[in-house]
Amino acid sequence: MRRQRGIALLVSLVLLVMVMLLGVSAAVLSLQGEKAARSERDRDVAFLTAEDALGDAERDIQDSSDPARREAFANGEAFSSQCGSGGVGLRLRPAGAQKPAWQTVDLSGVEDGGACSATHGAYTGAAMATGEGFLPFKKPRYVIERMECHQPGDDASAGAKPHYCYRVTAIGFGAKPEAEVVLQSVFIKPE
């Protein structure tokens, strides 16, 4: 009778360890892919809500359902260089080399209690569902800055009536609080 040396056992154990390492690495890759997909979905939700806030702000500028708000855009008196109260979200473009309003306000409304920005639907009556699942965890917010704009062909003399455009900066939120997207557009109200 020949004495056995156990080489088959050793080969089997090495193969088993290799298969186990392959299985663990496949599981880790799968979990990383799931996390990446979830983060991408949250970013997409935040992007879409920010885009919706831009549209809501444009409707607010063009045809708000609130008569006082329409008057604010008509005469420009509600626009100020500082944050107002009540979340009106109307600012003047700072003069000179000062930072623009969208860089100085808390768009999320957390630090200032929402005094410097307006919530989606506050002046247009537009609805947006928030909550769990694929929905954003809270409504997007926006700030509107009034700026003088000169279009091609406009009278550029000192006595000419100024034309205004509005820089809208909106923040959208994803399903998780960490997912935020900020978008900006310039809107010219048809006269």
Q: What is the mean pLDDT of the chain?
A: 85
For residue 90, which phi and psi values (nearest 5 degrees)? -110, 125
User: Residue 72, exposed/middle/buried by CB under 10 A (0-12, 13-18, 19+)?
Assistant: buried
The answer to whether 94 and 81 have CB atoms below 8 angstroms apart is: yes
Nearest-CA neighbor of 120 among 133, 132, 135? 135
Map out the domains of the chain as residue ranges.
Answer: 7-187
Residues, the chain, total? 191
pLDDT tens digits for range 83-138: 765 557 787 777 777 788 888 888 887 777 677 888 898 888 888 988 888 889 99
Buried/exposed code over 109-139 (b: 16+ C-beta within 10 A; e: otherwise): beeeebbbbbbbbbbbebebeeeeeeebbbb
For residue 163, the 8-state DSSP code is E
pLDDT tens digits for range 153-174: 777 777 777 788 899 999 999 9
Can you give the pLDDT at residue 85? 56
Sign of the C-alpha dihedral, residues 172, 139, 88, 107?
A: negative
Q: What is the band of 1 on the pLDDT scale with cuts at 50, 70, 90?
A: low
Provide the residue type at 75 as one letter: N
Query: Looking at the predicted structure, is the pLDDT value of residue 81 above 60?
Result: yes
Q: How many angstroms separate the CA atoms of 167 and 174, rounded?
A: 23
The answer to whether 189 and 61 have CB atoms below 8 angstroms apart is: yes
For residue 133, the 8-state DSSP code is T
The answer to whether 146 and 125 have CB atoms below 8 angstroms apart is: no
Query: Looking at the predicted structure, is the pLDDT value of residue 56 above 70?
Result: yes
Residue 134: both structure tokens together? 């694929």
